[in-house]
Amino acid sequence: METTDLRIVENKDKLKVGTVLGIVFISFIVIFFILFLGITLYISSSDKIITGIYIKGVEVAGLTKQQAIEKVTNEFNTVLPNNLTVSHGEYETQLNLEDLGANLNIEEAVDRAYNIGRDSNIFYNMGTIIKNLVTVQDLGLNVTLNNEQCTQLFNDISTKLPDTVVQSSYYVEGRKLIITRGKTGNVVDVDPSIENIKNKIEDLSYASSKIELVTVSKDPDAIDIDKIHTEIYKEPVNAYYTTNPYVVYPHENGVDFNISVEEAKAMLNEVKDEYEIPLKYTAPSVTTNMIGTEAFPDLLAKYSTNYNAKDTDRTTNLRLAAEKINGTVLMPGETFSYNTVVGERTIAAGYKEAAMYQNGEVVDGLGGGICQISTTLYNAVLYSNLEIVERRNHQFVPSYAKAGRDATVVYGSIDFRFKNTRNYPVKILCTVSGGVAKCEIYGLKENPDYDVEITSRVTETTSTSIKSETYKTVRQNGQVISSERINKDTYKRH
């Protein structure tokens, strides 16, 4: 009986101890729960990121959003370059992150970091906080690129690839249209290349390696004869002018295929690298040179030289050259070429044998004497204050001009050229009559215009040579604007 009572007492004692332990354990759990519930509630109301949070290796725990943004930005700016290298085979180039419109979206990553432990129910958030006490969570970046900017960049890169596609093209050479057939090649495949670069930036690995561009094979566009014809074709346009204000509108020649469009298309049936289509030009009814002198109200300069009218062959040569030049209109910025305008001096063109300088001697030659016209025009150009582009002196001082004031020409080798540097077109009138060769240059005077003074002097005379210098002085309103030596010439003695 006594033994039974002892066992009951022992059981009761054990029950009491178990109950106490249970109460202690439950109390501990409750306290722990209340503690972390409090911590969770505190964190929820705090403006700091919870412990254990990193963004691409940069710790942001315990920071406010703004502090985290600044820290991550500074860290990345320190270690990351602003350029990345892309390549295709042996080709490579650097791209700027700004040009790609790259955005690391650091603020978005910080928002995600801040919401950890806050973005679910209180129990889940508490579990996340407890887990982060012993583990680390490293967040990635959601990098974005500007598709429009990238597309433009990659399209430009495509044209520079050594194995890029070559599009068909055409150009005009004289009276022929040359079409070249394109070739298949590679171009940048934009979307996968953008994705490849985006991934490299998100991994922060672009700084240490080249990024291979994704390319795709592409055939050139088919040759479009209709499109080419539309671009080439042009109706002739008459020249005309207005007087208030004075404006000269030059003529434009018409251009067209000299074969039908169907015949041009038939050429493409034969696979060739190059095709030639003949062209025809149509002059308008009114060319620029036909515009009357009323469109050129002011005489800018004139100059004349004398010739022997009894020398009929030489006079014929002077007249032919003058007729070619007479009426020529030079638009602003255009360059006049004596040999181009006058053309080759041939028997078919009507030129005669007359005295000319050749190999240090005076001999009879075809077109002899026309240098008198280039000399006369040269002096008129000087006084018009136009730019001399090319001018050479004779071997001997000619009879019709002083030393330093002549301009010789030889077809195919020596030219006289000048440029219209004025703001308005000029018209050249050139006549040969009654022993006088005269060149006049008309245009529109500026307000105020320039006055030009040309002076030449012989600086040295020996038994074999004559040397001279020529100076040009430009005045405006009586004030000297410029004064310079324009020629330093050496002539042989006769």
Residue with tokens 């008459």: 238
Beta carbons of 237 and 113 less than 8 angstroms apart: no
Strands of the sheet containing 335-337, edge to edge, are: 335-337, 417-419, 387-390
Q: Which of 160, 310, 290 is nearest to 238 (CA)?
A: 290
Report the C-alpha gap between 219 and 335 in whole angstroms. 43
Predicted pLDDT at 218: 94
Predicted pLDDT at 69: 92
Report the C-alpha gap between 71 and 79 in whole angstroms. 13
Q: Cis bond leading into 278, ω under 30°?
A: no
Query: In the predicted model, is pLDDT for residue 413 greater than 80?
Result: yes
Q: Is 149 helix (H, G, I), strand (E, B) or coil?
A: helix
Predicted pLDDT at 128: 72
Predicted pLDDT at 51: 87
Query: In the predicted model, is pLDDT for residue 134 greater than 60?
Result: yes
Predicted pLDDT at 33: 55
From the number of C-beta atoms within 10 Å of its C-beta (0-12, 13-18, 19+), residue 148 rates as exposed
Name the pairing type of β-strands 274-282 and 254-257: antiparallel
Q: What average pLDDT does this structure show over 471-475?
A: 95
Confidence of residue 369 (pLDDT cuts 50, 70, 90): confident
Give the E-state strand segments of 192-245 in sequence order.
211-212, 215-218, 240-243
Beta bridge partners of 289: none
Q: What average pLDDT does this structure show over 112-138?
A: 78
Predicted pLDDT at 41: 52
pTM for the model: 0.62
Query: What is the rounded average pLDDT for all residues in the chain?
Result: 88
Predicted pLDDT at 9: 57
Predicted pLDDT at 388: 97
Tens digit of each residue's pLDDT (9 = 90 or more) over 50-65 = 888 999 889 999 899 8
User: For 25-39, 120-134, 294-308, 474-488, which range has the lowest pLDDT when averaged over its residues?
Assistant: 25-39
Query: In the predicted model, is pLDDT for residue 2 greater than 70?
Result: no
Query: In the predicted model, is pLDDT for residue 1 greater than 70?
Result: no
Query: In the predicted model, is pLDDT for residue 357 greater than 90?
Result: no
Tens digit of each residue's pLDDT (9 = 90 or more) over 23-38 = 656 655 655 555 555 5
Sign of the C-alpha dihedral computed for residues 296, 297, 301 and 304 taken in this order: positive
Q: Write a three-state SS string for 170-199.
A: EEEECCEEEEECCECEEEECHHHHHHHHHH
Report the C-alpha gap between 51 and 63 in whole angstroms. 9
Percent of the chain with pLDDT over 90: 68
Structure-model confidence comparison of residues 131 and 298, the more confident one:
298
Confidence of residue 20 (pLDDT cuts 50, 70, 90): low
Could you tell me how many helices (H) and strands (E) the chain has, helices first? Answer: 11, 26
Predicted pLDDT at 443: 95
Domain ranges of the chain: 226-282, 292-444
Structure-model confidence comparison of residues 262 and 115, the more confident one:
262
Report the C-alpha gap between 463 and 70 in whole angstroms. 89
Q: What is the DSSP string of 314-373?
A: HHHHHHHHHHHHTTEEE-TT-EEEHHHHH----TTTT--EEEEEETTEEEEEETTTTHHH
Vertex 264 angle, CA 262 and 270, to 5°? 110
